Structure 1
């Protein structure tokens, strides 16, 4: 276990030494330092332009590519921050664009509510007209029902009267003609 720890420590020390040696190459400035912060000014690359080694030019290319990407990212970030700032900047009347948008949406909602209210009032008025018409028709129907009931009662009375009359006529026909004459002249119930 101790041997493993010592071997791991030696390996780490050797690795750190290689990294330090790589970063301190011929006393030239480290071109990767500017990679640590996008806001840090980039180091002058004039000293490195004529350095005799493809290794450093690869680092320069990587640095330039990284800085281009950082510039692109920073420009997008600036645009995003400007948009955020414009949302909260106040206009001449002291309101923000978000407040203006909310107020316009509120006006739209109020106009929709007013439109729906007027539609509901129109429908309520139409419904009230239908209710009144329905009540009027029910009253007419009730009146006609009462008339029909009276007519049915009168018809029943007339029918009973006709039946009685038919019975009387039948009885009179069955009587001899002399008795029939007496019954017709006297109109008495003796003939019944």
Structure 2
């Protein structure tokens, strides 16, 4: 008899980990949009592990129930308890690891890592963009993440510019004084300049992304040409091997014919020598 408490506990764990997974995936997407690309890549894999662990544990419990008549080592109730304890332990470990990463993320005070990883790739160096693309397969994904990060910044700065414009118009209507207006105009100009700089950087990254995609297409076409040439070489090699095999068989036939001719010549010489001996004896007689 399977205890109902075990089944209920497993269903509750499945529901809880499913809810947490949806929430964590949303949080990982927010972290990615904030520019922490490497950190979001780590969290992306961990966020799905608790639910996957409970799901695999549930599948194992179903297998134990199905194979119950053939399992005689322990009782089915004890095996189910062991399975649910193991899956809950692993799920708890993964959740603790995720919480530790989140705590580490909250203590970060540096710049987003997406800027460091991609701006360095856009600077002039001895390594070309093509080499970076083929030695680091995540470059296109990182550039896409940077574009999303720049869009979020542009959206935020646009809202900030609108807010400052509203404040400026409010100060102008109230006509309180010149000093706040001057400060606000200066802040608005700096925000507008930062917005234009971000737009220029976004356009530059977009052009670099197009260049990388062009290089990928060029390499793909080159690989297709190499494969076509390789197939032609293989066909030519097969044809030459067939010709070589035919000539080898002909050479073997000629060798056998030559050997037969040599044996016949030896036999003929023996007959001639024997005939000459008989002829010489007849002349003496």
What is the TM-score of this pair, normalised by structure 1? 0.45
- Flag the structure with more relative contact order, 1 or 2, with Cα contacts below 8 A and sequence separation at least 6: 2
What is the TM-score of this pair, normalised by structure 2? 0.31
The higher radius of gyration belongs to 1
